[in-house]
Structure 1
Amino acid sequence: MSRFYSYINTPKTILSLYTGDIPFSAFLKNFFSKEKKYGSRDRRTISSLCYYYFRTGHAIEDRDLEERILTGLFLCTTTPNEILENKKPEWNEKVTLPLAEKISVAKIDVEKIFAFNDELSKDVNAKLFNTSFLIQPKLFARVRPGKQQVVKQKLEAAQTNFEEINNTCLAFANGTKLEAILDINKEVVIQDYNSQRVGELMTATNISAPVSVWDCCAASGGKAIMAYDILRDCKLTVSDVRQTIIQNLHKRLKDAGIKDYYAFVTDLTNHKNLQSALNNKKFDFIICDAPCSGSGTWSRTPEQLLFLKKEEITRYSDLQKSICVNTIPFLKKGGYFLYITCSVFKKENEDIIHFIQDKFSLTLVKMELLKGYEIQADTMFATLFQLT
């Protein structure tokens, strides 16, 4: 009995201490580093219970903390378990039911999981999007050119299950340790399915080689590596706001075998510094994977369901407008500007597109909401413009 008491009361303690100031994964790491009494199995169980709690979002805020944890456990798992058997045996008997039936048993209104349905982009199905938080997303990897055969051979030798989405995209169960099997960045890039689909917009261009590409919000470099693989003969420039990001990016590009590129640190909202860094250089292709709320990825970080404040949406939207105003002037005539977010909010998506259209003489080539909530992937928004 004491084990079940700990399994419920430790998550209650953790959740009461967490304030959302840092990613929950980092908070858990700090917590367990101080509490040495928990073994690996205990840490996994306690961590999972916390995440199950977050996945119910705002749907059952009127229930006590233990009830919310158990409800999350019931809805987010598919096999009988000893915690439910001890605490809610009537639910444990029904844990294998389809999710829709379990939602009815638990008596929750799934459309209350997400707090900002009135802010969603117009093509988002609110019910499906809300329901998706109760389902663990998959892990996706993009196979780099010429590596398909060796990647499959290694996965089969390691007896690792995978789903082949297309010739270059593989899906795995979340938590699969691909780094123990494959050469990450050289053979495959860990990259969400819809992040990979952004490459479809890269192929919708008709720029003659060599192509000058600027990934202005490069972050971890996934889009930069994809541009290098798709556009082939390209001169790559990458930038981001923090030196630590660029340092990590240097290592990742080196692992990917990309040597000829220019990297610099800049604040894209500071026009003067940006002008100095680029010295009036212009590009055939600008990738703007803009800083955003990340709301399309919250099934991976469900704590955000409870901690994002509504005013943050407007703050991100204002930031995105500033970045677009300062980066688009570096586009060559005939060049392309690719605006991307991993957000589901209209203010970060369609409203920014309207802003760009009002501010600049750009032709909209393609705009698409990449729905991930139906396929255990991230939801993204991508729009391709051309300066004609």
Structure 2
Amino acid sequence: MRLGGRIQAAIEVLQDMESRNRPVSVALKDWGNNHRFAGSGDRNAIGNLVYDALRKRASTGYMFGGEDAEALIFGTLLRQWGMSLAQIQEALADDKFAPEIPVARIEAASQKDLAFMPSEVEADVPAWVSDHLEEAFGDEWVEEAKALAERPPLDMRVNTLKAEREKVLKQLSKQGAKPSKIARQGMRISAKGGASRMPNVTAEPAFQKGWFEVQDEGSQIVADLVFAQGGEQVFDYCAGAGGKTLALAATMDNKGQVHAYDADKQRLAPIFDRLKRAGTRNVQVHAADAEIDHLHGSFDRVVVDAPCTGSGTWRRHPDAKWKLTEDQLESRKLEQAAILDTARNFVKPGGYLCYITCSIFQDENEDQIYAFGDRHDDFDLLGAGEVWEELFGTDAPKPWTTDFNCVTLTPRTTGTDGFFFAVLQRLK
């Protein structure tokens, strides 16, 4: 396919999402199934166009006077793909599959005065979200939000049960893998622009051998901050697909035991294949409907990677940004409080309760921790920043939080997805 056909396809995918209220991943998959002639490069380029358009939907729509699919895709070519009107016209010349170029709209958008662009539009977030971001980041909230509208890198974690980082980096050198700036066993392939695509690292022999896992660097960092030690009993209470379970098992060098549990059996299902490939021997998986009350007071560390809005992952899931509602946020807050109140029962006296979200909203983060402390005076909030400095030193990029009681990672400060981490100790 030439660029014109890819543009037309991207417009159709956005229109399908709008008319049928479908997730971007489903709309792209359906388009691919209905257009078997399209090669992997075509599908990747179309996906890039669609995802880039969704990341900056509000600001592009402001420039073009509307958030229709035509405006978003041609605006993406101009703003994020670095193409001029002349370059677009040249690329689409004599392409029978190309849509008509909206020349007048592009010219008007190029000369639009952006001085009076509302802050939430510049930040590319829903208007109601701006108050929550300002509460979290103060005067810097717009810049923090803008960083969440950029393309993410591809991050991986070396599985130290099977390989060392230098060995895996050598295997992935042709794919452009470099050591992460913070995560101790992290590797990164930086994002590129335009139609470029990330390598399929899961097809590499090193992945099949279990030498590494695909995992955002922020997720690796918060798993490290749990500070699990070999020989301990650790409970991953919201294990999901097992990313942090695997990281904890490797950190503990297969010594002690990690118990993995999730109330949603569908989320937990992938963990079994991942554990086998990784060569873990110290993980016990509990079924979603298993009776686990007998484990109360048994664990040195209980990890709660709580269900949340996912606002910290908007680089990877930009459509979720525009679908999120205040009611959904309120529902998540209630769920988080209930999970914390339940998970605390599994911490033994002197043990630690580690709270994690992939959100950047204070409502789901600090507010939850301080409210939990008000409800349970037998837990004391510790300074996560001290562990940060012990693990990562003082030269690495710093997290957002300044008091270091709680740690907030963001794309702007740490170059990762948005994550929150706090740790409390049970006193009695």
Question: Which band: TM-score by shorter chain?
Answer: 0.7 to 0.9
- Equivalences for 1:1-388 in 2 at 5 Å? 6-19=5-18, 23-59=23-59, 60=61, 62-63=65-66, 65=68, 66-78=70-82, 82-83=87-88, 87=101, 111-112=120-121, 113-115=124-126, 116-120=129-133, 122-123=136-137, 125-145=140-160, 146-156=163-173, 159-166=174-181, 167-174=184-191, 175-181=198-204, 182-183=206-207, 186-203=210-227, 210-232=231-253, 233-266=255-288, 276-281=291-296, 282-360=298-376, 361-365=378-382, 366=384, 367-374=406-413, 376-388=415-427
Range 32-41 or range 63-72, more displaced: 32-41
Structure 1, unmatched stretches of 5+, are 93-100, 267-272
Structure 2 residue identity aligned to 1:372: P
Q: Distance in 1 between matches of 2:313 and 2:111?
A: 24
Provide the secondary structure at the position in 2 that maps to 1:344. Answer: coil
- 8 Å contact 2:242–2:270 — kept in the other structure? no
Q: Percent identity?
A: 24
Quick one: which amino acid aligns to residue 228 of structure 1? A
CA-to-aligned-CA distance 1:222-268 (integer Å, 9 cap, x gap) = 111111122332211101123333331011111111134321233xx
Bigger shift: 33-42 or 140-149?
Answer: 33-42
**TM-score, normalisation: structure 2:** 0.76
Give the unaligned 5+ runs of structure 2: 93-100, 192-197, 385-405
SS at match of 1:377: coil
**Alpha-carbon distance in 2 for matches of 1:218, 1:108:** 42
In structure 2, do the counterparts of structure 1 residues 108 and 172 end up closer, same or farther at CA, with 3 Å as the change threshold?
A: farther
Relative contact order (alpha carbons < 8 A, sep ≥ 6): 1 or 2 greater?
1
- Equivalence for 2:390: none
Deviation at residue 320 of structure 1 after TM alignment: 0.6
- Please provide the CA RMSD for this pair: 3.2
Alpha-carbon shift at residue 90 of structure 1 (Å): 11
Structure 1: distance between partners of 2:153 and 2:345:
38
**CA–CA distance in 1 between the matches of 2:331 and 2:55?**
25
SS at match of 1:303: helix
Contact 1:372 1:380 in 2 (8 A): no
CA distance in 2, matches of 1:84, 1:214: 58
Q: Tell me what 1:95 maps to.
A: none
- SS for the counterpart of 1:227 is helix
More displaced 10-residue stretch of structure 1: 334-343 or 257-266? 257-266
SS in 2 for 1:332: strand
Cα deviation 1:48-76 (Å, max 9, x = unaligned)? 22222211133325425222222223222
Contact 2:52 2:76 (8 Å CA) reproduced: yes
Are the aligned partners of 2:301 and 2:351 in contact in 1 as well (CA < 8 Å)?
yes
CA contact (8 A) 1:369 1:381 kept: yes
8 Å Cα contact 2:156-2:212 kept in structure 1 = yes
Conserved? CA contact 2:136–2:360, under 8 Å: no
Deviations 1:186-233 (CA, angstroms, capped at 9, x unpaired): 211211111111144223x7x7x5211110111121111111122332
Label 1:199 to 1:184 Cα distance change in 2 as closer, same or farther (>3 A). Answer: farther
Quote the Cα distance in structure 1 between the aligned partners of 2:275 and 2:142: 39
In 1, the alpha carbon distance for the partners of 2:269 and 2:31 equals 28
> How many pairs does the alignment contain?
368
Contact 2:241 2:269 in 1 (8 A): no
Partners of 2:3 and 2:176 lie apart in 1 by 32
Amino acid at match of 2:190: A
Provide the rounded CA distance (Å) in 2 between the counterparts of 1:263 and 1:178.
27
CA distance in 1, matches of 2:261, 2:217: 24
Q: Partners in 1 of 2:54 and 2:77 — Cα distance?
A: 10
Q: Match of 1:96?
A: none
CA spacing shift, 1:50–1:84, aligned 2, 3 Å: farther
CA offsets, 1:91-124, max 9 Å, x none?
A: 99xxxxxxxx999889965642112121125237
